[in-house]
Amino acid sequence: MAAGTGAGDPNALPPDWAALLGAELTMPYFQKLSEFVTAERAANEVFPPPEDVFNAFRYTPVDSVRVLLLGQDPYHDNNQAHGLCFSVRHGIAIPPSLKNIYKELQSDLGISPPKHGCLEAWAKRGVLLMNAVLTVRAHEANSHKDQGWERFTDAVIRTLSARSQPIVFVLWGGYAQKKVPLIDQSRHRIIQSAHPSPLSVKKFLGTRPFSQINDQLEQWGQSPIDWQLPAGEMGATD
């Protein structure tokens, strides 16, 4: 498979990311992953749509990454997943974990939550919103785990960790925290806490990740992230 193509999806990784990760895209495991996703799309409904699989990389160029926020699995209900972890498109009901992220954002920085769940603005400001697994069969959580995506996204983490520019890695929950060994903590900052899902939200609320991220960026001489999301379209909030 030619470098830059993506796991059965028609849209290539953006050129900057393809240049960084080209070796991964030519490995046998990625070829198998590509064949798996292609077969899954032929037999089942798969989320997100092909053109959205690599949106995290499309919205956040390599040189703009200042924060990596790691999710696990794409949303698996209709019209939710669009390639950015925790995010949904305008007009789609805000998922419970994202509602809790918004609660913490308001508590931490006083930012009122928008009426939508679209986090594209964060991605465009340097927050890489990457799931560990980039596709999922409709209505079947974790149905594409252990097919090769984790190896690919681990390579993303390792590659970013190897860069000289420091990055804040945000790891919420036990699954994400298993990635700690991939990160050079002498160079980068890890912020970790409980996951914002309803099951663990009591341990998530009050952790102030957004101010911690900005404090660290400013210590490094970087600009803080503007966490204010545009009002955008009025979407369902239930």
Give the residue numbers marked as catalytic: 73
d(CA 45, CA 212): 39
Contact 210, 218 (CB under 8 A): no
Six-digit token pair at 225?
């992230």
Q: Sign of dihedral through CA atoms 142, 47, 116, 156?
A: positive
Q: Which residues pair with 136 in a beta bridge?
A: 47
AA identity, residue 204: F
Mark 56-76 as b/e (b = at least 16 C-beta within 10 Å). Answer: bbbbbebeebbbbbbbbbbbb
> Rounded distance, CA 149 to CA 143, Å?
12
Q: Is the dihedral of CA 148, 177, 220, 64 positive or negative?
A: positive
**Six-digit token string for 167:** 């990055």
- Which tokens is 40 given? 């899954």
Tokens of 55: 């949106």
Write down the residue that tokens 């830059």 correspond to: 4
> For residues 5 and 32, is the Cβ–Cβ distance under 8 A?
no
Could you tell me which of 158, 5, 146, 10 has the C-alpha nearest to residue 72? Answer: 146
